[in-house]
Amino acid sequence: MIRQFFGWQNTPFTREIPTAQLYPSASFRECVARLNYMAKTRSFGLLTGEIGAGKSAAIRTLRDGLDPTKYRFIYLCDSALKPRDFYRELLYQFGIRPQYLRSEVKRQFGHAVWDFYESQDKVAVIVIDEAHLLQGDMLQEIRFLTNFQIDSVSPLALIMVGQPELRATLQMRLFKPITQRMNIRYHLGGLELEETHKYVEHQLQVAGAQHPVFTAEALDAIYAHTRGIAREVNNVCTACLLDAVVRREKLIDAIHVARILTEYKEH
């Protein structure tokens, strides 16, 4: 509906945006650079950020940029994952059929990771997304992965991704072995005001827009409401665009944004 009305090639502000078209804000680029560094140095790392800030988008960018002949990207995003299944899942992603006993599975995994590194000269990059939702017993299990880091050479990179409370959870004494080895951390915040303007313009441009749609005042209002959190900016912009379609007007001003935001609050 939006695409047709405005005559664009794509719909902007969608989740399916290809990584090459993501808006490269300063913090986003810094975030991706740190993630790459974690992979390259086979470190343990922590990426935090508010919901919708772009953590998973940064992880997708990392994945797309890794040379598949050197890295095996393993992504886990299942808050309901049980310790019993954790190593099984990892093994599956390695293409190895897990054995029956849990102790065996762990051993298999250790073997696979080292073999991968030493014989094949490849590094496993394990990303655990939405890690703030994991139960204590799963975090305990992740502790086992830290054993790989006791030797001076680590064969893998482990990146835990989650909302800010993950940082506090990991501060608990129980998880010290994990945090002690997490030498690279990054917190992805919201975009600044000026960047929020550029973010929206970028989204419209990659959709194929030739003209601006939001006035500067409209963008200021969007920033004030969303604090530059990408997902929220996307939601408000989409609501404004749909409203514009209904109004049959191709310009969105602060008044329209204000009305949309009040409707938001009422629901």
Binding-site ranges for ligand ADP (CB under 6 A): 15, 17, 22-23, 25, 28, 49, 51-57, 230-231, 234
Contact indicator for 220, 253 with CB cutoff of 8 Å = no
Name which of 167 and 231 has its Cβ closer to ligand ADP: 231
**Cβ-closest position to ligand ADP:** 54
Examine residue 48 and tell whether it contacts Mg ion (CB under 5 A).
no
Which of 163, 215 has the CB closer to Mg ion?
Answer: 163
Quote the distance between the C-alpha of residue 158 and its chain's center.
Answer: 14
Tally Cβ neighbours within 10 Å of residue 84.
11
In the 8-state DSSP scheme, what is residue 93? H
> Is the Cβ–Cβ distance between 106 and 144 less than 8 Å?
yes
- For residue 62, give Cα distances in angstroms to 65, 132, 153, 179: 5, 20, 22, 22
**Binding span for Mg ion by CB under 5 A among 15-23, 47-55, 115-123, 250-258:** 47-55
> Which does residue 54 bind out of Mg ion, ligand ADP, none, counting CB within 5 to 8 angstroms by kind?
ligand ADP
Answer whether 122's CB lies under 8 Å from 116's CB.
yes
- Measured from the CB atom, the residue of 42 and 55 that comes closer to ligand ADP is 55
* Cβ-based burial of 192 (10 A; exposed 0-12, middle 13-18, buried ≥19): middle
The one of ligand ADP, Mg ion, none whose footprint includes residue 6, by CB under 5 to 8 A per kind, is none
Residues touching Mg ion, count (CB under 5 A): 2
Q: One symbol per residue from 55 to 94: x for binding Mg ion (CB under 5 A), - otherwise; what is it?
A: xx--------------------------------------
- Measured from the CB atom, is 57 or 142 closer to Mg ion? 57
Please state the φ and ψ torsions of residue 127, each to the nearest 5 degrees.
Answer: -115, 125
How far is the C-alpha of 59 from the C-alpha of 129, rounded, in Å?
A: 9
Residue 190 interacting partner from ligand ADP, Mg ion, none (CB closer than 5 to 8 Å by kind): none
Stretch that binds Mg ion, among 32-40, 49-57, 208-216, 240-248 (CB under 5 A): 49-57
Cβ(107)–Cβ(100) under 8 Å? no
The single-letter DSSP state of residue 10 is S
CB of 164 to ligand ADP, least distance (A): 11
Site residues (CB under 5 A) for Mg ion? Answer: 55-56
